[in-house]
A and B are shown apart, each in its own frame.
Chain A
Amino acid sequence: MPAPPRRSGEGAAPARAVALVLSLAAGAGAFMLFLQFGSADGLQWIDILRSVLIFLSTWWLAWGAVQGVMGLFTRARVPRACAPVLPDAPIAGRTVVLVPVYNEDPAVTFARIAAMDASLAAAGAAPAQVHFAILSDTRDDAIARQERLWFLHLLREREGVGRIFYRRRADNRGKKAGNVEEFIQASGAAYDHALILDADSLMEGGTILAMIRRMEAEPDLGLLQTLPKIIRARTRFGRAMQFSAAFYSPVFARGLAMMQGRTGPFWGHNALVRMRAFAEACGLPELAGKPPFGGHILSHDYVEAALLARAGWRVRLDDDLGGSWEEGPENIVEHAKRDRRWCQGNLQHSRLLAAPGLRPWSRFVFVQGIFAYIAPLFWLAFMAASIAAPSLTPPLDYFPEPYWPFPVFPSDETSKAIGLAIGIFGLLLLPKLLIALAAGIGGRARGFGGALRAMGSTLAELLFSSVTAPVLLMFQTRSVLQVLMGRDAGWPAHNRSDGFVPLARAWEAAHWIVIWGIAGLAGTWWLAPVLVFWLSPVVVPMILAPFIITWSSGESRGGLFATPQEAETPPVVALHDAILARWQAGPPADIPAAAAG
């Protein structure tokens, strides 16, 4: 298959330039303000260090904020590059839906496949058009046996012989990317497209068909990513994340889509790939050396998107497509576990920054991914430097002129520090508040319980994220340091059903954060008592970390954090609920005979 011609970023350059210039300007402004404030009593090296840290941290904050604000000025729509596609246009090619599993509950996972298959049939897909392949990397033999039994049950229920497949790998080399690659090498030529899912993904049949039609209408489209939204959250933490994903993410994604050009993102699941393009462009090499920086590429999705773009294929996020769902972690501990893997994967991309032929935007995406994990370290370093600064600064000299009898007082630059603090809080809060305001005015808030409740949920989410942020910051910092010290995250199985975290387990997971919080408070009290008040929003949640983890893992009640999916269960989710309830109510005893027949 010939690769499509290489083209430029297709109109994304102005959006990228605006975002970069505005965020850099915000960073530079913060740098100047802090430098003036810090050097009021004479410029010291520690002032320059703190100003640089403030620049980096503010730039990163502003980069996210600008994306959000840009997203507010556009609407979700069929991308301009996308040729007009009729909703019932005939589908010529064959698609396989790939469902990698790894020690998952097979009944729950396979019921999702049954639901998507039923949804596809309802949307008008012919059985021969879309196949399913369950790609098991399960290491636990007991679970693997259950997988085989439930697979037979799935076959019988959906009459899926010859179009729903199951295979288990003997070894799980390359993890998820290796799992998918093994399927493509063995069976890829039988299909034109592959829809790559996670075990917890659910997609409406209509969405899948729309994606296939778009890909068939655009010969140079190599990968089409949807914006998955979180469903089925039950805990306070889970529902806050679910609300964020439903309320803010579409706006931020639209901002991102403005900048993507031909080099959009791949998030590893809920995305359609052109089989031959993916096969030709995305064979991942093993990096020299041992993990965490060597070995298999852990965050393979970013790299695959970059490789497709390098080969001239278009990679695109279509934020107008709905009907794409996933489940998220239900508590901070599970979130931190997942984040540890992502952190390692993103830092590993530092090895690929100078890979030959990549598009500049792909390299920038790698830098962004790395920055997402090291930015908290800049904040932490800034706080540590601020605590240490008074003891590193020479005492004030009120009589710098030898023969001048009157004291010279340093200029008062406090207003600049206050201005800077307001600016940083603005970057943190403003995009979310603007999104809530726009949702209230534009009517989108109706799905979130109305304008008032949506604004209430936004304020609650801001408060909630302020309390949990220092705890997450500490987990993230530990992850970065562990990776830099060469510790591999391994491949722990997801604990998708885990919700409540008892206090003893929270203490076990976060006691070190408490110790650091107490040490930070004591150090501040001793070295810079004037900063105790300013640092309390960080150190108090750290000291209370186990309580925050336990409380936030409790069941969420009340009207806050309502989402449209809670008010009206999406069809494919309702199908999954019904199928799973039936399966769990009375598993059939005659699976082998039934499947054989």
Chain B
Amino acid sequence: MLDLTAVSGTASAGLDADRLAETLGAPPVAPLAMPRQVLERGPGAVRAGLALRLFGLGDARTSGPRTGH
């Protein structure tokens, strides 16, 4: 790893660099929805999940769509 001060020059220049990087680095604002996918399962699947639990492989249920995000 290179010495930070060698790269930034001075501490104050480093602070300027922080702001500059934030400004110049900001990606374009172009929102795209990414809906939560459903990985829940039906009654048959719950039985399969119970079987898995018997082998210690965790809870059978998965969450539904996440809210509040």
Chain B nearest CB, measured from A347 CB (Å) = 7
Check A288 for interface membership: any CB of B closer than 8 A: yes
Q: What number of A residues sit within 8 Å (CB to CB) of B?
A: 67
Say whether, besides A189-B30, A355-B39, A587-B2, A592 and B62 are in contact (CB < 8 Å).
no
CB distance B7 to A282 under 8 Å?
Answer: no
CB distance A294 to B58 under 8 Å?
Answer: yes
A146, B61: Cα distance in complex, Å:
43
Q: Which residue of A lies closest to B38 (CB)?
A: A356
Encoded as 1 (CB less than 8 Å from any A CB) or 0, chain B from 49 to 69 comes to: 100100011111111111000
Chain B nearest CB, measured from A155 CB (Å) = 6
Encoded as 1 (CB less than 8 Å from any B CB) or 0, chain A from 182 to 217 comes to: 011111111100000000000000000000000000
Chain B nearest CB, measured from A309 CB (Å) = 12
CB distance A107 to B2 under 8 Å?
Answer: yes
CB distance A190 to B9 under 8 Å?
Answer: no
Q: Which residue of B lies closest to A147 (CB)?
A: B21
Say whether, besides A184-B32, A189-B31, A354-B49, A155 and B44 are in contact (CB < 8 Å).
no
Residues in B with CB closer than 8 Å to A354 are 41-42, 44-45, 48-49
CB distance B21 to A285 under 8 Å?
Answer: no
Say whether, besides A281-B37, A288-B61, A354-B49, A188 and B26 are in contact (CB < 8 Å).
no
CB distance A181 to B34 under 8 Å?
Answer: yes
Check A12 for interface membership: any CB of B closer than 8 A: no
Residues in A with CB closer than 8 Å to B65 are 285
CB distance A293 to B57 under 8 Å?
Answer: yes
Check A75 for interface membership: any CB of B closer than 8 A: no
Chain A nearest CB, measured from B49 CB (Å) = 7
Q: Which residue of B lies closest to A144 (CB)?
A: B18
CB distance B31 to A146 under 8 Å?
Answer: no
A152, B58: Cα distance in complex, Å:
46
Where the two chains meet, the residues of A that have a C-beta atom closer than 8 Å to any C-beta of B are 105, 107, 133-134, 142-143, 145-153, 155, 161, 165-167, 181, 183-191, 275-276, 279-289, 292-294, 303, 307, 347-348, 350-356, 484, 584, 587-592, 595-596
**A–B pairs, 25, beta carbons within 8 Å:** A107-B2, A146-B4, A149-B7, A165-B26, A186-B31, A187-B28, A188-B30, A189-B30, A190-B27, A190-B28, A280-B34, A280-B35, A283-B34, A285-B36, A285-B37, A286-B63, A286-B66, A287-B63, A288-B61, A289-B59, A294-B59, A351-B58, A351-B62, A354-B49, A596-B20
